[in-house]
Amino acid sequence: MIVAEGLEQTYTSLGRPLRVLTDINLTVEPEGFVAIVGPSGSGKTTLLGLLAGLDRPTAGRVALDGQDINPLDEDERARIRAEKVGFVFQNFQLIPTLTALENVLVPVEIRRALSGGAAKGAEERAGNLLGRVGLGDRLHHYPAQLSGGEQQRVALARAFANEPKILFADEPTGNLDAETGRTVIESLVQLNNEERTTLVLVTHDTELASHAHRIIRLSGGRIVEDPGSRPG
């Protein structure tokens, strides 16, 4: 489902090059659950951004669901994200002017706008997703009216709204207390199992990572441990 070959990423900071990732090679099979762990500054989030097509690597290539995304322009990448990818962010990233239900519907509406097709039962599915994460009675509340954990659960529901093939989660419990984080993880894992998505999770939380089928450890911008990797 996800293939990365020879990925490198270098940024310019204060006029000097800063290499963040070096020679990253990995493959994630369909319906796989991969956790990318590592200390702060190891390049986890950068790798996630490259795999999701949010950024362009300095070197190497990424393929999602068999399609090389390197040659695609920004709008083409956006289309792929709309059709195949879901996101969960550390700071929830809900749109503050939309209700919970409207936030969940945004990916569906974007996809409908791009492809022209009518998404039947989208609102019902969105309500259903919110119910599955325990927010069935909070459909019309705005993010400001929800707690952090509740907001993250809305974000989870949004991530699954378009029935994505791939879900990227960046430190989904990073801004939550332990107990709330556990609730969110349970919802994430349950939804992932039910929806049969390929899940790539970035975290420094070992307990969260333990839920994954495979743990890829990064350090200093390199993969230092990957039990499921193929030689590059």
Partner 1 sequence: MKLPFILAMGRRESRASRRRLGLYAGSIGLGVAALVSINSFRANVTDAIRAEARGLMGADLELRSTRRFSAPIQELIDSTASDEIVVSYVTNFAAMALAVDVQRTHLVDVRAVQGSYPFYGTIETEPPGRWAHLRSAHNALVDPAVLVQLDAAVGDTIAIGNARFTIDGLLTKVPGDVGFVTALGGRVYIAAAYLDETGLLGFGSRTVYRAFFRFAEHRSLDSFLATYEDLLRNEQVRYETATEREQDFTNVLDLMARFLGLVGLIALLLGGVGVASAVHVFVRGKLQTVAILRCLGASQQMVFAIYLLQAVMLGVLGATSGVALGLVVQASLPTLLRDFLPVEIHVSVEWPVIFAGLVIGVWVAVMFALLPLLTVRNIAPLQALRREFESARSPGVLRFGAHAAVVLTMVALSIWQAPDLTLGAAFAVALGSTTLLLWLSAWFLIWMTRRLFSRKARYVYRQGIANLYRPHNQTVAITLAVGFGVFLVTTVYVVQGSVLRQISLDATPNRPNLVLFDVQKDQRDSVESLIVSHGLPILNTTPIVPARISHLKGRNVREILSDTAGPRVPRWALQREYSNTYRDSLVDSERLVEGVWWNSGYLRREGERGNQPSRRPLSQPRTAADVYRISVEQQLARDLRVAIGDRITWDIQGVQLETEVTNLREVDWARLNLNFFVVFEPGALDDAPQTFVTVTRSESARHRAEVQRDLVLAFPNVAGIDLAVVQESIDSILSTVSFAVRFMALFSIVSGLIVLGGAVATSRFQRIKESVLLKTLGGRNRQIRQILLTEYAALGLLAGLTGILLGSAAGGAFVAFALELSFHPPILPLAAIWLGTAALTAAIGLASSRDVFRKPPLMVLREMGE
Q: Which spans of this chain sit near partner 1 (rule: CB under 8 A)?
A: 45, 48-49, 54-55, 74-75, 78-83, 85, 87, 89, 93, 95-98, 102, 106-107, 109-116, 144, 147-148, 158, 170
Q: What is the rounded CA–CA span in Å between residue 195 and residue 8?
A: 32
Closest contact distance (angstroms) between CB of 84 and partner 1 is 9
- Coil/strand/helix, residue 221: coil
**Between residues 59 and 78, which has the closer beta carbon with respect to partner 1?**
78
Determine how many CB atoms are found less than 10 A away from the CB of residue 190. 13
Identify whether the C-beta of residue 25 lies closer than 8 Å to the C-beta of residue 229: yes
DSSP 8-class letter at 147: -
Q: Which is nearer to partner 1, 7 or 48 (CB)?
A: 48
Nearer to partner 1, 122 or 208 (CB): 122
The percent of the chain in helix, strand and coil, each rounded to the nearest 5, is 35, 25, 35
Burial of 18 (0-12, 13-18, 19+ CB in 10 A): exposed
Q: Which is nearer to partner 1, 44 or 217 (CB)?
A: 44
Type of residue numbered 33: F
Report in angstroms how near the CB of residue 48 gets to partner 1 at its nearest.
Answer: 7
Tokens coding 50: 């490259």
Q: Give Cα 90 distance to the centre of its chain.
A: 10
CB of 230 to partner 1, least distance (A): 27
The least CB distance from residue 193 to partner 1, in Å, is 23
For the CB of residue 167, give the shortest distance to partner 1 in the complex, in Å. 13
Name the residue nearer to partner 1 (CB basis): 144 or 178: 144
